Chain A
Amino acid sequence: TLLGVITCDAAVTSDIWRTMVKTAVMRSFNQITVDGDSSTNDTILALASGACGGDLIARGDSFEGSQLQRALDVVMQGLAKSVAWDGEGATCLIAVKVSGAETEAAAATIARTVASSSLTKAAIHGRDPNWGRIACAAGYAGVKFDPSQLSIHLGQFLLMEGGQPQPFDRSAASHYLKVVGEEHGTVQINICVGNGTGCSEAWGCDLSYEYVRINAEYTT
């Protein structure tokens, strides 16, 4: 279950605050996944006290509104990523960045679909640069893109460009995954699906044997 409480001392109107929180949640907590199960209890509550004084922020598209939105996004993304990093049994965070989509929402859908792929997650746990699973997951995300424009990076390794598989050092890519796993660091996957301006990120974690051990006996 995901729970969160956000606190802020800005002076902001209720309707703008609710719009900002919704936007920030869409860019953060709704872009993480550990195991594909949506809880009965997921809740984020965000309170703004107005205690810092200053002018009331009453427009989301004002300069001050944009500043507050960006800061809220950053706080929620920091917390959201820490939840994915701490996924049950995980040895690494998986960060999936998608660019070139028609819209931010389209990019977000592709990114989260890849981050949610059990086969991609299992391969990363096995330190196997099995990038075909990344391409596969992008393809079934439900977002149309031109496969001939697909490019995929795993860390610094270019695996596919212009829809064509690229030669790469498989053992070096595997070593990259191994080192990241040993450090409980971040595996970076960058995907470009075209020339659109839509970009987004999603965050997940690897799928380990330990995940099953934890959850097979949760109440016994």
Chain B
Amino acid sequence: VLEQMAPSTTSMPEAPIVLPEGPWKQIPGGVTAAGGFKASGAYARLRSASQKPDLALVVCDHDAVVAGTFTTNLMAAAPVLYCKKILEKSDRVRAVLINAGQANAATGDAGHQDSLDCASALAKILGIPMESVLIQSTGVIGQRIKKDNLLDSLPYLVSELSSDIESANKAAVAITTTDIVSKSVALETIIGNTKVRIGGMAKGSGMIHPNMA
């Protein structure tokens, strides 16, 4: 299985994901495979251990219907609380900003403000309402985001948005922490008479026992 890993353009191997046989076709690309989506990934000086990309962005050309599942941990991180609040009010969003390095969990009011500031800054650059931006964070619990570094990187991150496969790969790498592989997959299927594409990216290696609702 290890031999099946393809080298990625971002110097991180990709997970060998093989989908089961079915009325679908596995296709290249992850989070940008579906129509209307662009992504980017960049090194924003958030990580302490390496210079891998650590800031990812996924944007939809138009308002997208959104669903979310979230940890049921009572110590839910600031971005989780932020997203839940957004999804209680709205069923459509345009962008998801994800940082690695710091989890922004157990960071109190300051952490909550950091999430608001990041969403607000990105919304301003994209020219969309702040309520159309969702946030995810991963990394060390108890540490605030290196916000200045993150905010400084947003214009570049937005300028790099693309629907190509490399951008999807960069985004998938940017969300990793202790992962040894990046994780992306996409498929194409026919529903009715229409060609539908579903893709995605994920990260996770330790502290993994999700109980989301």
Give the interface of A toward B (CB within 8 A).
Answer: 1-10, 12-14, 17-18, 20-22, 25, 29-30, 32-55, 57, 64, 67-68, 70-72, 74-76, 78-88, 116, 183-185, 211, 214-215, 218-219
Report how far A110 CA is from B62 CA in the complex, Å.
42
Report how far A71 CA is from B202 CA in the complex, Å.
17
Q: Which residues of B contact A50 (CB under 8 A)?
A: 36, 62, 64-65
Indicate which residue in A14, A49, A55, A78 contacts B194 across the interface (CB closer than 8 Å).
A55
Indicate which residue in B24, B64, B200 contacts A49 across the interface (CB closer than 8 Å).
B64
Question: B210–A47 contact, CB under 8 A?
Answer: no
Question: A82–B35 contact, CB under 8 A?
Answer: no
Question: 8 closest Cβ contacts across the A-B interface?
Answer: A54-B194, A51-B35, A49-B36, A51-B36, A34-B208, A21-B67, A40-B105, A4-B202
Question: A4–B80 contact, CB under 8 A?
Answer: no
Q: Which residues of A contact B96 (CB under 8 A)?
A: 5, 45, 47
Report how far A64 CA is from B190 CA in the complex, Å.
9
Question: B208–A43 contact, CB under 8 A?
Answer: no
Q: Per-residue 0/1 for B60-96: is the Cβ within 8 Å of any A Cβ (1 yes, 0 no)?
A: 1110111111111101110110010000000111001
Question: B140–A22 contact, CB under 8 A?
Answer: no
Question: B60–A49 contact, CB under 8 A?
Answer: yes
B151 within 8 A of A: no
Given contacts A1-B204, A34-B209, A88-B206, 20 further A-B contacts (CB under 8 A): A2-B204, A2-B210, A14-B91, A20-B67, A35-B207, A37-B208, A41-B80, A43-B69, A43-B70, A43-B79, A44-B212, A45-B66, A45-B68, A46-B68, A52-B34, A52-B194, A82-B183, A84-B208, A87-B208, A215-B206
Residues A219 and B183 in contact in the complex (CB < 8 Å), given A1-B177, A30-B210, A36-B209:
no
B40 within 8 A of A: no
Residues A74 and B71 in contact in the complex (CB < 8 Å), given A9-B197, A41-B79, A79-B185:
no
Q: Which residues of B contact A7 (CB under 8 A)?
A: 31-34, 37, 58, 60, 64, 198-200
Question: B194–A38 contact, CB under 8 A?
Answer: no
- Chain B interface residue count, CB cutoff 8 Å, equals 87
- Closest residue to B195 on the A side, CB-wise? A52
B126 within 8 A of A: no
Question: A41–B105 contact, CB under 8 A?
Answer: yes
The 6 sampled A-B contact pairs (Cβ below 8 Å) are: A45-B96, A48-B64, A74-B24, A79-B183, A82-B183, A86-B179
Question: B196–A8 contact, CB under 8 A?
Answer: yes
Q: Which residues of A contact B178 (CB under 8 A)?
A: 88, 214
Question: A184–B66 contact, CB under 8 A?
Answer: no
| Chain-A contact segment, one of B13-21, B116-124, B152-160 | B13-21
Q: Which residues of A contact B2 (CB under 8 A)?
A: 183-184
- Closest residue to A18 on the B side, CB-wise? B67
Indicate which residue in A42, A52, A57 contacts B71 across the interface (CB closer than 8 Å).
A42
B128 within 8 A of A: no
Indicate which residue in A1, A4, A75, A80 contacts B198 across the interface (CB closer than 8 Å).
A75
Question: A41–B17 contact, CB under 8 A?
Answer: no
B175 within 8 A of A: yes
Indicate which residue in B58, B75, B76 contacts A5 across the interface (CB closer than 8 Å).
B58
Question: A74–B19 contact, CB under 8 A?
Answer: yes
B110 within 8 A of A: no
B134 within 8 A of A: yes
Report how far A12 CA is from B106 CA in the complex, Å.
36
Q: Which residues of B contact A41 (CB under 8 A)?
A: 71, 76-77, 79-80, 103-105, 136-138, 141
